[in-house]
Amino acid sequence: DSGVTQTPKHLITATGQRVTLRCSPRSGDLSVYWYQQSLDQGLQFLIQYYNGEERAKGNILERFSAQQFPDLHSELNLSSLELGDSALYFCASSFRQDWEQYFGPGTRLTVT
């Protein structure tokens, strides 16, 4: 157990809908990262927050947005969902930005 928690574990929804994925970092970690892993694919970096501020962006679609709250938990919002958005979404956290990242168990999103 890495200490990073993510909810829900599984999510099944229809095209066009909007969902919110939640991540709680390890106690004391200030930085949160979101990654997408499609079936049999690698890990694609989406976005990073550090102590509430957005610090880096990857190939994140405009339909996707995220934020980090004062208690340091983070939410990833996915809207106008398409079939191709079906994937595992991982959150990772680190104490400082240049320290090792620890991954949560992921949220499996299925868009039908």
Please report, as ranges, the residues that interact with another protein according to CB under 8 A.
2, 31, 33, 35, 41-45, 48, 55-56, 58, 90, 94, 97-98, 100-106
Q: What is the C-alpha separation between 112 and 104, in angstroms, rounded?
A: 25
Nearer to another protein, 64 or 90 (CB): 90
Nearer to another protein, 73 or 108 (CB): 108
Side-chain half-sphere of 58: how many Cα atoms within 13 Å? Answer: 11
- Which tokens go with 72? 């340091």
Q: What is the C-alpha separation between 93 and 33, in angstroms, rounded?
A: 6
Smallest separation (angstroms) from another protein to the CB of 39 = 11
Smallest separation (angstroms) from another protein to the CB of 88 = 8
